[in-house]
Structure 1
Amino acid sequence: MGADLKWLGRTWLLPLIALAVLGFSASWGVAHLSGLKTWLATLDTVEAGILASLVAGLFTPVGALPVLLLRKISQRVEDSLMGFGAGIMLAATAFSLAQPAIAEAVRLTGGMLSALLIVTLGITVGGLVIMAIERFLPHEHFALGKQSGADVSKLRRIWLFIFAITIHNFPEGLAVGVGYGSGDIQAGLALTLGIGLQNLPEGLIVALGLISVGYGRAAAFGLAFLSGLVEPVGGTLGAVAVALAETLLPWGLAFAAGAMLFVISHEIIPESHRQGHEGYATMGVLAGFTVMLMLDATL
Structure 2
Amino acid sequence: MVDQLFVDLVGSNPLLQAIVGGLVIAGLNLVGASLVLVYRDPSERALDGALGFAAGVMLAASFTSLIVPGIDATEVIVPGVPATGLLTPAPVLVGILLGVFVLDQADHWVPHVHVLITGRRRTDQTVTDSGVASVILFIVAITIHNMPEGLAVGVGFGSGDVANAIALMLAIGIQNVPEGFAVSVAAVNAGFDRRAYAVLTGIRSGLVEIPLVVVGAVAVTIAMPILPYAMGFAAGGMLFVISDEILPETHARGNERLATLGTMLGVVVMLYLDVALAA
Please state which band the TM-score falls in when normalised by the shorter chain. 0.7 to 0.9
- Pick aligned residue for 1:281 from 246, 259, 265: 259
- Determine the structure 2 residue equivalent to 1:97: 66
- Pick aligned residue for 2:9 from 25, 29, 39: 39
Q: Distance in 2 between matches of 1:154 and 1:269?
A: 27
% identity of equivalent residues: 41
Compute the displacement of 1:60 (Å). 0.7
Q: Distance in 2 between matches of 1:214 and 1:70?
A: 17
Compute the displacement of 1:237 (Å). 1.3
Compute the displacement of 1:154 (Å). 7.9
Contact persistence 2:96–2:234 (CA under 8 A): yes
Contact persistence 2:113–2:119 (CA under 8 A): no
Distance 1:214 1:141, change over 3 A: closer
- Output one character per residue of 1:161-201: Cα deviation in whole Å (capped at 9) or x when no partner: 44322111110000000011221111111110100011001
Q: Distance in 1 between matches of 2:260 and 2:41?
A: 22
- Output one character per residue of 1:216-266: Cα deviation in whole Å (capped at 9) or x when no partner: 331121122233222112211111110111111111111111111111111
Compute the displacement of 1:114 (Å). 2.4
Does the alignment pair 1:216 with 2:193? yes
Contact persistence 2:98–2:236 (CA under 8 A): yes
Structure-1-length-normalised TM-score: 0.81
Q: Distance in 2 between matches of 1:275 and 1:156?
A: 27
| 1:91 counterpart letter in structure 2 | A
Does the alignment pair 1:70 with 2:70? no
Residues 147-162 of structure 1 aligned to structure 2 (within 5 Å): 160-162=137-139
Contact persistence 1:45–1:239 (CA under 8 A): yes
- Pick aligned residue for 1:199 from 176, 181, 187: 176
Q: Distance in 2 between matches of 1:155 and 1:277?
A: 32
What is the number of residues matched between the two proteins? 264
Q: Distance in 1 between matches of 2:3 and 2:159?
A: 21
- Determine the structure 2 residue equivalent to 1:246: 224
- Pick aligned residue for 1:176 from 153, 162, 165: 153
Distance 1:33 1:261, change over 3 A: closer
Compute the displacement of 1:93 (Å). 0.3
- Output one character per residue of 1:275-294: Cα deviation in whole Å (capped at 9) or x when no partner: 12111111111111111111
Distance 1:141 1:298, change over 3 A: same
Q: Distance in 2 between matches of 1:240 and 1:37?
A: 18
- Output one character per residue of 1:55-91: Cα deviation in whole Å (capped at 9) or x when no partner: 1121111112222223221111111111111101101
Q: Distance in 2 between matches of 1:122 and 1:274?
A: 30
Q: Distance in 2 between matches of 1:212 and 1:132?
A: 27
Distance 1:227 1:285, change over 3 A: farther
Contact persistence 1:142–1:158 (CA under 8 A): no
- Determine the structure 1 residue equivalent to 2:96: 123
Compute the displacement of 1:34 (Å). 4.5
Contact persistence 2:30–2:202 (CA under 8 A): yes
Distance 1:219 1:134, change over 3 A: same
| 2:236 counterpart letter in structure 1 | G
Q: Distance in 2 between matches of 1:204 and 1:44?
A: 33
Q: Distance in 2 between matches of 1:161 and 1:168?
A: 11
Distance 1:115 1:258, change over 3 A: same
- Determine the structure 2 residue equivalent to 1:61: 30
Q: Distance in 1 between matches of 2:29 and 2:266?
A: 16
| 2:38 counterpart letter in structure 1 | L
Contact persistence 2:119–2:190 (CA under 8 A): no
Compute the displacement of 1:146 (Å). 10
- Determine the structure 2 residue equivalent to 1:227: 204
Does the alignment pair 1:133 with 2:106? yes
| 1:111 counterpart letter in structure 2 | A
Contact persistence 1:75–1:145 (CA under 8 A): no
- Determine the structure 1 residue equivalent to 2:162: 185
- Pick aligned residue for 2:17 from 45, 48, 51: 48
5+ residue gaps in structure 2? 121-128
